[in-house]
Amino acid sequence: MPKQAESTPGTPSAQSAATPVEWRISAGLVDYPTALAEMEARAAAIHTGTAPEQVWLLEHPALYTAGTSAKPEDLLLPDALPVYRAGRGGQLTYHGPRQRIGYVMLDLRARGGDLRRYVGGLEDWIIRTLARFGVKGERREGRIGIWVAINGREDKIAALGVRVRHGITFHGIAINRDPNLQHFEGIVPCGIKESAGQPFGVTSLAKLGKAVTPAELDAALQATFGEVFG
């Protein structure tokens, strides 16, 4: 799983344990460095008990992010798009318009402190969200993200990357609603090339014939989040 942990979780704050998760939805495109700075600030505030947990839904301009395990050779077109060091676990991924990002800032100390279970929860969240639109998302052993099997091939429809600092999670998930899939050709997404000679691709809800609006996807994400994380 793509994850990066820093320090051992300590005592949960009373506020994070008792206050409902706050939802933030941004219109337009949010600059990546701005989003990263705001995520880190919110995670710090959750740690000190001065802000509630938050899920932030947004979209970025077209760009690549490099996780802590990113390999230079997996950046196939270095000059195609801006590249940002993300600080999360994982390798290279693409973000861009019409791809929904869910940044998740939760107090893992108040939720049992189990990082593996948390990552599994993010996967469940994606799978349940896709199911609301008639898409069967699946895990694959040894492959990061959520996959769709159609006509004998498997394509990735969602990615996830996690960082934990002082027991607070940040970064999160990305679901391909209707992004420009050609931009994925500039990288080896998450370092995954092929297995047993089978190449893997990238897909989206739109490519699967699902016309989903941002509002519909956001509503599904909010509803299924509660099913998984309470």
CATH number of the structural domain spanning residue 35: 3.30.930.10
Give the pair of three-digit tokens for residue 186. Answer: 């500039």
In whole angstroms, how far apart are CA 45 and each of 88, 110, 167, 183? 19, 15, 12, 35
For the chain, the domain total comes to: 1
Chain-centre distance for alpha carbon 174: 4
% of the chain residues with pLDDT over 90 = 65
Do the domain assignments include residue 230? no
**In this predicted model, what pLDDT tens digit does every residue of 52-110 receive, in sequence order?**
999 999 999 999 988 777 778 888 888 889 988 887 767 788 999 999 999 999 999 99
Q: 10 Å Cβ neighbour count for 206?
A: 15
Residues facing 107 on adjacent strands: 168
Do the domain assignments include residue 48? yes
Which of the two residues, 199 and 158, has the higher pLDDT score? 158
CB 81 within 8 A of CB 186: yes
Residue 215 makes CB contacts below 8 A (sequence gap 6+) with none
Backbone dihedral region of 88: left (phi > 0), alpha (psi from -120 to 50 degrees) or beta? Answer: beta
Q: Mean of the per-residue pLDDT values for the chain?
A: 87
**In this predicted model, what pLDDT tens digit does every residue of 119-146 receive, in sequence order?**
999 999 999 999 999 999 999 887 889 9
Do the domain assignments include residue 191? yes
Find tokens 């769709």 and name the residue: 148
**What is the model's pLDDT at position 12?**
54
Our answer to whether residue 164 is catalytic in this structure is no
Do the domain assignments include residue 215? yes
**Residue 15 and residue 27: Cα distance in Å, rounded?**
28
216, pLDDT greater than 90: yes
Which domain covers residue 42, as residue numbers?
A: 3-225
Which residue out of 160, 175, 190, 221 is catalytically annotated?
Answer: 190
- Give the global pTM: 0.87
**Spatial CA neighbour of 48 closest among 19, 21, 13:** 13
Do the domain assignments include residue 88? yes
Give the pair of three-digit tokens for residue 129. Answer: 């969200």
Do the domain assignments include residue 211? yes
